[in-house]
A and B are shown apart, each in its own frame.
Chain A
Amino acid sequence: MSATLAPTPKNSPVPVSEAPDSPAPSGLEIIAPVRDETSAPGWFLARAEAAWAEFQKLPVPSVKDESWRYSNAKNIELGLHSPAISATEAQKQQALAASEGLKERTARFVFVNDELIESQTDALPAGVVCVSFAEALKSHGDVLKEHFMKREMTLGSAKFAALHLAHVKAGTVILVPKNVAIEKPIEVFHWVVGDHAAIFPHTLIVTGDNAEVSVVDHYRSLDGEGGLSIAIADLVSGTGSRITYAACQELADDAQALHLSSIVAGRDSNVKSFQVQLGAEFSRSETVSDLVGQGARSDMLSVSLPIGEQVVDQRTLQNHMAPHATSDLLYKNALYGKSRSIFSGLITVDETAHYTDAYQTCRNLLNSDEAEATSLPGLEINADQVKCSHGATSGPISDEELFYLKARGISDNESRKLIIEGFLADVLKRFGNSEVLDTLVARIDEKLERAV
């Protein structure tokens, strides 16, 4: 795949050199976005344009920034990347063939380099909107305007979010009307191909009252070349509705991934979000869960299995803004080689958010002498009628456990694999949906084969 830059368009709204009173972004080569002004609504173009200026203005976060402590924003090598250009026909076909995940699903989308290759939406119930991002800009601009990237990026990646907004053109928008339950999941594949190609996939899920939907996003590289994915998912749940969302990141070993999710949990709703970090040399996830409605529940789950020199960086916020809400976070990392994991999570409870139940647990299993796990769990509690706790552990596989399995004739490697599967299983089990679960377990097993 050629590595040429996308041609600078004639109508580029804000060329780099003319960006309003902004110094040249430090060493960044990401070029000004190309936009189709004929199909996107004016508000979107204005926001995208403002975001591009914002991106150029904002400094690259440094390790001195509290939200990048123990990590390094320079790991996201913007300087090396260019927005992905159209893949070849052969590559598209290859990606399509490799887009295997769930056996049964309600709809499927396949994107290659932010270009929609296939959409199967025949099985959707009436009234459901499930379209590509580009299509939604045309057909459901109003809903998009109401919910698209409305949350402030407080966990450190405002610069990258601005870049996403400036470049976003692919992804899915799923609107489920009230009382409609979509039984089988919707599956979306985002492929990246080409040297240092960057993609900016977006997912927006909005559910009406008592609606139900589950969505799985896969982020993959078509070949082993380094790519960059800066993805954002916005989940907005209506009263009594249920959303389950999984982001399964399996980019190539030398790719970089940034996955920013925001959750707005409405009254009595139930949102489960799942981060599976398997690929990329550096992957960072930021998940903000705003519990805005009474009785809301947000489950935030994550599994990672870094090997070699992979770095997994996880930042979370459980933001309790309404009383009687529950949030429960469980992140598990099994580390190998010289890999590193960073977990930084915060529970905040507003003064009015009484009867909050909030939990946060991060567990690290260190499987090599050089792996390193850092945990920064946090609590900021401003109301007194609460039950909040966090816990963080790190340690090796216990010798007794290993001995027990080996005494039964299971090899050392196989024993370790079993123990790690068990370690990760209780997170996976909480996902509920067995279809999705099977897929995820299969992907994790695959990675585990490489790790052990």
Chain B
Amino acid sequence: MVTAPDNDISDIKVDSVGDFTFPERNKYDSGFGITEKTVDFIADVKNDPDWIREFRHKALKIFQSKPMPTHWATKDLENIKFDEFRYYLSDGQKPKRSWDDVPEDVKRTFDRLGIPEQERKFLAGVEAQYDSEAAYSNIKAAVEEQGVIFVNSTEGLHKHPEIFKKWFGKVIPTGDNKFSALNSAVFSGGSFIYVPPGVKVKHPLQAYFRINSEQFGQFERTLIIADEGAELMYMEGCTAPKFETATLHSAVVELVAMKGAKIQYVTVQNWSSNVFNLVTKRGIAHEDAEVRWIDCNIGSRLTMKYPGVIMKGKRARGEVISIALANSGQHQDTGAKMVHAADDTTSNVISKSISIGEGRSTYRGLVHIPKHLKGCKNNTECDALLINSNSRTDTYPAISVRGNQHSTQHEASVSQVSADQIFYLMQRGLSEAEAMSLSVNGFINDLVKEFPMEYSVELKRLIDLEMEGSVG
């Protein structure tokens, strides 16, 4: 049931603005490759306002003209065949997938994580979405009472254009990089959140279920605005492997923390190992505001993700806490960007990575303190753990400081789990694998504590799982 973008689209039925009934019809597929027709197809299906359609077309041109990052990035990027992807797919093939189609290792992971049968089916993409829709609606009702807007990005741009337009594409300009341009051309899904002044949202806002129910999470676009003094915590992804037919995931996430606001953005991603995960995430922190990224990357073939904070107002604070785990066939190229653009701003980066088997983890960082500022501080710590003799790790930070009223410090270390420690644990009856798991969990323990409880529990289980068979 493939509807090519050049087909007549007059017979496509959209039930309401940007919203599709589920699941019996509306099988929209833009076909393979990306052209102006693809962009028009998406704009038509989603009933985009003209400015968004123009925005997409402009972005497509930038995407087509921009070269791949070549001089520093991994050569694996060259293996991305843009013509072999479908850029828009809704309700098409994924809901049809049955539990039987799920790869064995993903099933095993679900088992080990102790995820309930019903949820497993959902995770596999079978029709269990109504349950999760309901769950989502409950959360929505609770936050709506406080005046919080929490909708998908399509709904956001249609229903709240006055806020949406003001900030959309402002934190991450279309031409920021090739993949932000790609996302701008074909974006679909993602969240739009606005928290009114002074509102402190108690519940963490979770986006995993909703994105999946819409079944187009490949190019999601998220925009979160916390108005003056507002606070929120947002969580995306899940701690179970996503079974993605897609092999390219390219999200753009923009955060705006107004004066005195606080945003915490938690991501736990565990893609299957055929996914190129190329994501642009950046936040702006105004005066006395705080943007905090908590980021965990497990899985994917190649992840390139460097959450950043632009500290635009005085005393703003930026933080990135990240854990990356790279197993064989995986490259976790992650890091953080901290741009100090006002006096007395502080930033903190703590990054831990574990490389298992032939896995490769990379930390890439940027700390920028330009002229005419005073009292800026940055602290960066990166620790890498190598489990096997073929594991690989790299660290490439760039720290630029101007003026004599700032201080920065960067420290990185690479080590392996000490043989003494493993011996000690095995003496007490643990198997070698258990001893290794315990050591690795110890290595990241102080960061895992930063994650919400249920996430940290599953994170630990996931790490155990990845460690299995990696020693000996």
Taking beta carbons and an 8 Å cutoff, which residues of A are in contact with B?
64-66, 69-70, 351, 354, 364, 366-397
Complex: how many Å from CA A234 to CA B404? 37
The one of A375, A379, A397 that contacts B395, using a Cβ cutoff of 8 Å: A379
Chain B residues closer than 8 Å to A395, beta-carbon distance = 406-409
Pairs A-B, 9 closest by C-beta atoms = A395-B407, A384-B386, A389-B413, A372-B402, A396-B404, A379-B395, A366-B404, A388-B414, A374-B400
Q: Which one, B371, B386, B391, B404, contacts A367 given CB within 8 A? A: B404
B406: chain A residues at CB < 8 Å are 366, 394-396
Q: How many whole Å from A390's CB to the nearest CB in chain B?
A: 5
Is the Cβ of A369 less than 8 Å from the Cβ of B403?
Answer: yes
Q: Is the CB of A380 within 8 A of B410?
A: no
Docked-complex contact B396 and A376, CB < 8 angstroms:
yes
For B425-449 the 0/1 string (1 means CB < 8 A from A) is 0000000000000000000000000
Q: Is the CB of A376 within 8 A of B412?
A: no
CB distance from A65 to the nearest CB of B (A): 7
The answer for the CA separation of A393 and B388 in the assembled complex, in Å, is 31
Q: Assess the B404–A369 pair: CB atoms within 8 A.
A: yes
Report whether A378 and B395 are in contact in the complex, using a CB–CB cutoff of 8 Å: yes
The answer for the CA separation of A372 and B387 in the assembled complex, in Å, is 38
Complex Cα gap A65–B70 (Å): 11
Chain B residues within CB distance 8 Å of chain A? 71-72, 371, 384, 386-416
Quick check: A65 and B395 within 8 Å, CB to CB?
no
| Complex-state Cα separation, A70 to B402, whole angstroms | 13
Closest A residue to B371 by CB, please name it. Answer: A370
Q: Find out whether the CB atom of A371 lies under 8 angstroms from the CB atom of B391.
A: no
Is B400 a contact of A381 with CB atoms below 8 Å? no
| Contact between A375 and B414, CB atoms less than 8 A apart | no
Q: Provide the bound-state CA to CA distance between A66 and B398, in Å.
A: 12
B403→A384 contact, CB < 8 A: no
User: CA of A122 to CA of B250 in the docked complex: distance in angstroms?
Assistant: 71
Hey, which chain B residues are within 8 Å of A385, CB to CB?
A: 389, 416
B59 to chain A minimum Cβ distance, whole angstroms, is 24
Among the listed B71, B396, B408, which residue makes an inter-chain contact with A65, where contact means beta carbons less than 8 Å apart? Answer: B71
Assess whether A384 is in contact with B411, with CB atoms less than 8 Å apart.
Answer: no
Task: Tell me the bound Cα distance from A392 to B407 in angstroms.
Answer: 11
In the complex, what's the smallest C-beta–C-beta distance from B233 to chain A, in angstroms?
32
In angstroms, Cα B402 to Cα A94, docked, is 40
Q: Are B71 and A384 in contact (CB under 8 A)?
A: no
Distance in angstroms between the alpha carbons of A396 and B375 in the assembled complex: 11
In the complex, which of the residues B393, B396, B401 contacts A381, with contact meaning CB atoms closer than 8 Å?
Answer: B393
Chain B residue numbers with a CB within 8 Å of A393 are: 407-410
| Known contacts A378-B395, A385-B389, A390-B395, A66 near B410 by CB under 8 Å | no
User: Which of chain A's residues has its CB closest to B367's CB?
Assistant: A375
Determine the distance from Cα of A364 to Cα of B408 in the docked complex, in whole angstroms. 10
Residue of A nearest to B388 (CB): A384
Chain B residues with Cβ under 8 A from A354's Cβ? 389
A-B pairs with beta carbons under 8 Å apart, 20 shown: A351-B389, A366-B401, A366-B403, A366-B404, A368-B403, A369-B403, A370-B402, A372-B371, A372-B401, A375-B397, A377-B412, A380-B393, A380-B394, A386-B386, A387-B414, A388-B414, A389-B414, A391-B411, A393-B407, A394-B406
Smallest CB gap from A360: residue in B: B412
B389 near A383 (CB under 8 angstroms)? Answer: yes
Given the complex of chains A and B, what is the CA–CA distance between A77 and B169 in angstroms? 42
Among A366, A367, A394, max chain B CB count under 10 A is at A394
User: Contact between A381 and B392 (Cβ–Cβ < 8 Å)?
Assistant: yes
A377 touches B403 (CB 8 A): no
Determine the chain A residues whose CB is within 8 A of the CB of B391 once the complex forms. Answer: 384
A388, B411: Cα distance in complex, Å: 11
Contact of B397 among A382, A386, A392, A397 (CB under 8 A): A392
Min distance, Cβ B104 to any Cβ of chain A, angstroms: 29
| Bound form: Cα–Cα A158–B472 in Å | 44
Known: A370-B371, A375-B399, A388-B415. 17 other contacts (CB 8 A): A66-B72, A368-B403, A370-B403, A373-B400, A374-B399, A376-B397, A377-B412, A381-B384, A381-B386, A386-B386, A387-B414, A388-B413, A389-B412, A391-B412, A392-B408, A393-B410, A396-B407
Task: Give the nearest-CB partner of B419 in chain A.
Answer: A385
A-side contacts of B371, CB under 8 Å: 369-370, 372
**Are the C-beta atoms of B415 and A386 separated by less than 8 Å?**
yes
Which residues on B sit within 8 Å (CB–CB) of A394? Answer: 399, 401, 406-408
Q: Is the CB of B399 within 8 A of A376?
A: yes
Q: How far apart are A368's CB and chain B's nearest CB, in angstroms?
A: 6
Q: Which residues of A contact B401 (CB under 8 A)?
A: 364, 366, 372-374, 394
Alpha-carbon distance between A372 and B398 when the two chains are bound, in angstroms: 13
Q: From B390, B394, B399, B415, give the contact of A351 (CB < 8 A).
A: B390
Quick one: which of A383, A384, A396 has the most chain B CB within 10 A? Answer: A384
Which of B71, B72, B395 has the most C-beta atoms of chain A within 10 angstroms of its own C-beta? B395
Q: Which of A70, A370, A390, A396 contacts B400 (CB 8 A)?
A: A70
Pairwise interchain contact B389-A387, C-beta atoms closer than 8 A: no
A375 close to B416 (CB less than 8 A):
no
Out of B72, B388, B395, B400, which one reaches A372, CB within 8 Å?
B400
